[in-house]
Structure 1
Amino acid sequence: MGPWRHFYRGAMAAQPGSEPATAERPLALATGASRGIGAAVATALQPTHRLLLGGRDAGALAARTAKLPGARAWPVDVTDPAALRAAVAEIERLDVLVHSAGVAELGTVEEAAPSAWRRNLEVNLLAVVELTRLLLPALRAARGHVVVINSGGGRNARPGWGPYAASKFAVRGFADALRAEEEPNGLRVTSVYPGRTDTEMQRAVVAGEGGEYDPRRFLRPESVAAAVRTAVLATPDAHLTELILRPTL
């Protein structure tokens, strides 16, 4: 049995009268966890979960895991099906899967390049579908929970946001279909729709729009993470299917 399998299966036992040992906590995997909303989600879940932090930047993941006891880096390109299959091979049981990795390549229907449509769909939809599909046995084993970080763009399409909105509407449909199929197997599926959030991606979007960046206008990543934690820690009789967050300003 390799060291990763030991981490996944949680073989350590807590001492009588003590808090549960780290290895006894449920296991959560968050993609896009090196920064932004994904990193905030990891921090929010750390007190109650063991963590696998997914992302492409191994250095950034290492720095993040160093701050979160009970966390392991899970460096993988979610758009690489072969890499995904190899990365999930030893995950036998998974309690929480949070899809936070995403891109936002914008443009009008007339002007957006085909590559922008493909890139949005590849990361925001197809990677979510494939990772979930590969992990379904592990999620079913745990009667687990899938959380999809969607966007306001997954409910309302704005001019100039066509490629991104199309991918987010599509992943909304995926989450709805997954919920309908897997709820009888004990899985919960939550779509989270945050408004514009203070992240590096948002800074790039505002710069592309030619606007002035004011973080006070946006949600904080920690606020979105708190919503995810609420859904994940809901009592067994409750299934929070959709959560919508908007900035107060």
Structure 2
Amino acid sequence: MCDFAFVLLAGGSGTRLDSPIPKQFIRVAGKTIVEHSFACLHSFAPDARIVITVPADALEHARDLFKNTRAEVIVGGSSRQASSYAALKHLRADPPKNVILHDSARPFLSHQIIHDVVEALAAHEAVDVAIKTSDTIIVERDGFIQSIPKRDHIYRGQTPQAFRFDALISSYEELGQDKVGEFTDDCGIYMACHPMGQVRIVKGSSENIKITDSIDLVLADELFRIRQQQLTPNLMGLDLKGKNSVVFGGSMGIGKAIVQILEEAGSTVHSVSRRSGCDITDHAQVASTIDGLVREWGHIDNVINAAGLLIKSPLEQQSPADVAQQVSVNLLGSLNVAQCSHAALKASHGMLLQFSSSSFTRGRADYSAYSACKAAIVNLTQALSDEWKDDGIRVNCVVPGRTDTSMRRANFSGEDQRTLLSPYEVALASAKLLSSSDTGIIARV
């Protein structure tokens, strides 16, 4: 049994983010920010109580998000301090020995930090998480620099912060609601009432960022991508036996390798390509293929679109037909596959898996049309993972590195094949992703 309870503070309005919805309910990488933060805490201590404070007008929505968990979702206050106090009063009926408070806007909290906080809390009454500042700190007065303190002992505070429950709630009660608003965090409140008390500092992480401004969402999105590419390949096995899968672009390259791996894993697979009579640039042909397979199989569990086209040459040297063909295959075709698959995947709670390219992060000279389309596929994946979440459809994207396919050999002659990924490496990572419950994943291989 845990001797601590978590408090996840999600009561903010997110005004600095300039978003129509509070920042904690913005979706990133397939989940809301508060769900990511909850997962950090719950995965560390599945049996611990977790109290989540939210705005009153978001209570129903938040309770729906966490309806299949043991989270205790309550209304917070008009400020961070008021939300902390609301959670403490909620816990008082069955008080824990210790309480650990964390900002929901920090969804990258690591298990190592939580472990270090819990360990420090065993010997200290109060614990804070902080990192040394790398910036020069100035003290201002009337628009001028008054002083520049040395950075040796200047830290930037993060969360979680942890306390003996009795010590923290008594501090709130001693100060009263009027005075707690003068403080920016719980350590300040504790220290105001315990002038001889010591707050132990635990080392935080530069990745434990707080999503406050619009730029932070961009950073968060990239951090999730980095983490996902680290986690997804570590899935141990495949869960594809008895699944029905259709692979567009399954006659060659990565698509062909996926067909073989899925068949070996026990999946019933139908390979689709222009050779078999289905051109993904033709909406009617894609719809006919999907409808026919639903009639034949009864349901489709996975739709994989591995079709792609690259014509490598400077844009000004490509004909309008070349550009149109690349956009049609790489982007319009992906939209066709997604649109035609929706009903079938909604019925099966299945997965749509698309493919981008390492060029999506930065357009590459001599294949600008291809790069632009592959960047669009990432955005399509992120958008559909949100749109289709309530339909139970998972939408993910694999971003292969340089892979030894006939398309690549046709465009990059003379490459040392030993430096390239095998299509089967990419296919295996794809099959593992198909076996997962994840959505909104941009998995680099």
TM-score for both structures, normalised by structure 2: 0.43
Deviation at residue 213 of structure 1 after TM alignment: 2.9
Note if 1:89 corresponds to 2:291. yes
Q: Give the % identical residues.
A: 27
Deviations 1:91-127 (A, max 9, x none): 4321101110110012324333322221111001111
| Counterpart in the other structure of 1:154 | 360
CA distance in 1, matches of 2:390, 2:287: 26
| Counterpart in the other structure of 2:380 | 174
CA distance in 1, matches of 2:411, 2:278: 25
Note if 1:76 corresponds to 2:278. yes
Note if 1:56 corresponds to 2:262. no
Deviations 1:20-79 (A, max 9, x none): xx9x81110111111110011111111231111111224xxxxxxxxxxxxxxxx41222
Counterpart residue type for residue 26 of structure 1: K
CA distance in 2, matches of 1:78, 1:194: 21
Deviation at residue 240 of structure 1 after TM alignment: 6.4
CA distance in 1, matches of 2:409, 2:266: 31
Question: In the alignment, which of 418, 422, 429 is matched to residue 220 of structure 1?
Answer: 422
Deviations 1:183-233 (A, max 9, x none): 1211111111111110100110113xxxx1321111100000011011011
Deviations 1:120-165 (A, max 9, x none): 1100111111122112110000101011111112222111121111
Note if 1:105 corresponds to 2:311. yes
Rg comparison, structure with higher value: 2
Q: How does 1:234-249 map to 2 (within 5 A)?
A: 234=436, 236=437, 238-239=438-439, 241-245=441-445
User: Alignment length, in residue pairs?
Assistant: 201
Q: Is the 8 A contact 1:106 1:163 kept in 2?
A: no
Note if 1:199 corresponds to 2:417. no
- Structure 2 runs not aligned, ≥5 long: 1-239
Q: How does 1:111-122 map to 2 (within 5 A)?
A: 111-122=317-328
CA distance in 1, matches of 2:401, 2:342: 29
Counterpart residue type for residue 87 of structure 1: T
TM-score for both structures, normalised by structure 1: 0.75
CA distance in 2, matches of 1:133, 1:217: 36
Provide the secondary structure at the position in 1 that maps to 2:359.
Answer: helix
Counterpart residue type for residue 155 of structure 1: T
Question: Which is further off, 192-201 or 24-33?
Answer: 24-33
